[in-house]
Structure 1
Amino acid sequence: MRPEDTQTPPTEPQPATSTTRSTTATADRDGFTADDGVGAFQGDSSSVLADDERSETERRWEDIEARFVDDPAGATKDADDLLGETMDRIAQRWHDRRSQLREGWDDEDASTEQLRTTLKRYRSALQGLLSR
C-alpha cells in the first residue's frame, strides 16, 4: 500500500463561527424574533431594486462599458448619471418604506402590540439597509 492510500481524506472547511447575535426565529428578551416575516421591504428582502429595474440598470452599465473605448468621456459621464439615478431610486424606495412604517405607529391610539410589530419592521428595515 502506498502512504497516500492510507491518509485520511481532507475534511470540508467548516463555516466560521460568529459572536454576532443569532438570526434564528427564537425570541429575544423583548419578545421580538429576527424571523418575523418582514423583510427590509415587505415581500422583497432580497433587493432594493425591482428585478426589472436591476436588469435595466445592468443593461445600461454594459452599454456604457462597451462605449468607453470610443468615447471615454461620454461613457464616464453616463456612468455618473446612471449611478445618480440608481441612488435616487434606492433613496426613494427607502423613503417610501419609512412612510409606510410611520403609518404603523403615528396614531395616539396605537396599541402596544401594533407598536411592537412596527418596531420589528423598523429593525428589519434597518438591518436590510445596513446589510447592503
Structure 2
Amino acid sequence: MQPEGDELAPQVEEDEPDRVPVESPPAPAVSSAPVNGSAYRPVGGSAVSLAALWNDADRQRIKARWQELQLRFIDDPHLVAGEAERLVQDAVVSLTASLDARRGQLHQQRAARGLDTENLRASLRDYREFLDRILAL
C-alpha cells in the first residue's frame, strides 16, 4: 500500500517498520570564486589581483598582441594560429619567470627575517598566500 502524498518521496515498506529512508549526502559546495577571474580571496584575506603574478609590461604586451592576432585571423588563419601558439609559449615563459622571481623574493625575506618563531610564522603566511595565488590560476 502506497501512502498518500508525494509520489517521489522515499517509501517505507509496511513489512519493514524499523527501516528509515536514507537521504542522499549533500552535494559538494561549489566555490563562487572565479577560476580564471582577475581576483581571488585567500582564506581569511582580502581580494588580491591575480595580475600581480605577472610583470605588468609583459601582460600588457601579450594582451595587445592577442587582440592584434584576432583581428588578422580572417586574412591568414594558418599563419595567425602559428603566431598564437608562439604567443602562448611566450606567455608561459613570462609567467614562469615572474613566479620564479617572486619565489626568490620570498626566500630572501625568510632568510633576512631570522629564525625566531614569529618571523617563521610570517614567512609561512607569505608562502601560503603565494601558493594560494598559484593554485587560483
TM-score interval for Structure 1 and Structure 2 normalised by the shorter chain: 0.5 to 0.7
User: Where does the alignment leave 5 or more consecutive residues of structure 1 unmatched?
Assistant: 1-17, 25-32
Alignment match of 1:104 (pick from 87, 91, 109): 109
The answer to whether the 8 Å contact 2:72/2:80 transfers is yes
Provide closer, same or farther for how the CA distance between residues 92 and 50 of structure 1 changes in structure 2, counting only shifts above 3 A.
Answer: closer
In structure 1, distance between residues paired with 2:61 and 2:71: 15
1:58 aligned onto 2:63: yes
User: Where does the alignment leave 5 or more consecutive residues of structure 2 unmatched?
Assistant: 1-28, 32-40
CA positional deviation for 1:19: 8.8
Structure whose alpha-carbon radius of gyration is higher: 2
Residue pairs, 1:33-48, within 5 angstroms: 34-35=44-45, 45-47=49-51, 48=53
Scaled by the length of structure 1, the TM-score of the pair is 0.61
Provide closer, same or farther for how the CA distance between residues 114 and 19 of structure 1 changes in structure 2, counting only shifts above 3 A.
Answer: farther
Scaled by the length of structure 2, the TM-score of the pair is 0.59
In structure 2, distance between residues paired with 1:94 and 1:49: 8
Deviation string 1:22-81 (CA, Å, 9 cap, x unpaired) is xx9xxxxxxxx833x8x8xxxx74412244433322211111111112211210111011
Amino acid at match of 2:82: K
For the aligned residue pairs, the C-alpha RMSD in angstroms reads: 3.1
Provide closer, same or farther for how the CA distance between residues 78 and 91 of structure 1 changes in structure 2, counting only shifts above 3 A.
Answer: same
How many residues are paired up?
Answer: 100
